[in-house]
């Protein structure tokens, strides 16, 4: 092999190794040996959770949008970083975070004690009620939590709703990674009901014919939603909390929720 080709390949390999060595878990890409670098903040999310995060064709291009994504963009902007989004199964998010493959997780994440042992959690940025979704014909049949005893319930794996469903006497659970798959189970009568976040339930009922939200009210100590970072990444956590505080003070998060809900409901 020509020695100049060998040297060029060596330089490329060195550059690729440098690009993976972010100081705080984020990726820093070296550029031609110059002092300037591009910092990349990698977000892990499960983008089937409208209006939090979901796929939407915008100007002919498939995009991941939602109010969680708007928040993530603000965090990256405040850090002077480029946001990179990884769409992952919900039940794999914490492992991806702990392994360093993503820098933060935003995906309707509740601050449970179990999660707090595995990762570090931000301040609460939003709260929402839980809802029970069924086929329209079964709205009156499952109007209370008591009526769900023995029912077949579709639930998202690893979610707080899965914990709620496990507390329902005799319930037969079908745990799936994606909410959209649970909706298909409902439509095909493979499950009788599902427990979802209120905004998520409203979005699917609005867009999927034949579904309804019942009067049943799941009881849960709702502490709201947080952003997760790898254990010990205090620098990133401090920046996240700073951005969240500023967004809440300015009323921006409610604006993001309204915008994302309208986007999720639009054709």
> How high does pLDDT run on average in the chain?
86
CB 260 within 8 A of CB 106: no
Q: What percent of the chain shows pLDDT beyond 70?
A: 85
Q: Is the pLDDT of residue 22 over 60?
A: no
Residue 51 vs residue 142, higher pLDDT: 142
* Identical topology for domains 40-127+223-265 and 130-213: yes
Q: 130-213: what fold?
A: D-Maltodextrin-Binding Protein; domain 2 (3.40.190)
pLDDT band at 202 (very low <50, low <70, confident <90, very high): confident
pLDDT cut 90: percent of the chain above it: 67
**Could you tell me the residue ranges of all domains in the chain?**
40-127+223-265, 130-213
Q: How far apart are CA 124 and CA 110, in angstroms?
A: 9
Measured CA to CA, the distance from residue 238 to residue 244 in angstroms comes to 10
Mean pLDDT, to the nearest integer, of 219-244?
92
The H-assigned helical ranges of 24-103 are: 67-79, 93-98
For 72-94, the pLDDT digits (tens) are 999 999 999 999 999 999 999 99
Residues 6+ apart with CB under 8 A from 174: 152, 153, 154, 155, 182, 185, 190, 191
Instruction: Name the region of 234 (left: φ>0; alpha: ψ -120 to 50; beta: rest).
Output: alpha
Domain 40-127+223-265 adopts which CATH fold?
A: D-Maltodextrin-Binding Protein; domain 2 (3.40.190)
Q: Which position has the higher pLDDT, 192 or 3?
A: 192
232-243 confidence digits (pLDDT tens): 999 999 999 999
What average pLDDT does this structure show over 199-223? 88
More confident residue, 37 or 167: 167
Q: Give the pLDDT band of residue 27 (cuts 50, 70, 90).
A: very low
pLDDT for residue 181 is more than 60: yes
Place of tokens 């550059």: 15
The residues near 45 (Cβ < 8 Å, ≥ 6 apart) are: 53, 64, 68, 69, 72, 85, 86, 87, 88, 93, 105, 106, 107
Confidence of residue 36 (pLDDT cuts 50, 70, 90): low
Read off the pTM.
Answer: 0.68
- 13 pLDDT above the threshold of 80: no
Query: What's the pLDDT at 267?
Result: 65
Give mean pLDDT, residues 155-184. 93
Please give the structure tokens belonging to residue 208.
């999927």
DSSP-assigned letter for residue 35: S
| Cα atoms in the 13 Å half-sphere on the side-chain side of 91 | 12
């Amino acid at each position: 092999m020509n020695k100049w080709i060998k040297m060029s390949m060596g330089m490329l390999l060195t550059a690729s190794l440098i690009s993976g060595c972010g100081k705080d878990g984020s990726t820093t890409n070296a550029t031609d040996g110059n002092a300037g670098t591009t910092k990349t903040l990698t977000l892990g999310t499960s983008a089937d959770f409208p209006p939090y995060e979901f796929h939407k064709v915008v100007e002919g291009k498939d995009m991941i949008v939602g109010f969680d994504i708007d928040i993530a963009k603000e965090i990256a902007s405040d850090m002077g970083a480029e946001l990179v989004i990884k769409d992952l199964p919900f039940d794999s998010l914490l492992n991806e975070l702990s392994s360093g493959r993503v820098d933060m997780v935003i995906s309707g994440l509740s601050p449970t004690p179990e999660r707090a042992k595995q990762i570090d959690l931000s301040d609460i940025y939003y709260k929402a009620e839980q809802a029970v979704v069924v086929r329209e014909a079964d709205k009156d049949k499952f109007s209370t939590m008591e009526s769900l005893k023995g029912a077949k319930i579709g639930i998202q794996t690893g979610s707080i709703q899965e914990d709620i469903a496990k507390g329902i006497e005799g319930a037969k659970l079908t745990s799936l990674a994606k909410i959209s798959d649970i909706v298909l189970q409902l439509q095909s009568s493979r499950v009788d009901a599902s427990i979802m976040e209120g905004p998520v339930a409203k979005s699917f009922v609005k867009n999927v014919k034949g579904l309804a939200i019942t009067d049943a009210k799941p009881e849960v100590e709702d502490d709201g939603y947080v952003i997760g970072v790898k254990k010990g990444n205090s620098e990133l956590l401090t920046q996240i909390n700073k951005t969240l505080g500023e967004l809440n003070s300015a009323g921006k998060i409610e604006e993001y929720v309204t915008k994302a809900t309208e986007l999720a409901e639009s054709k």
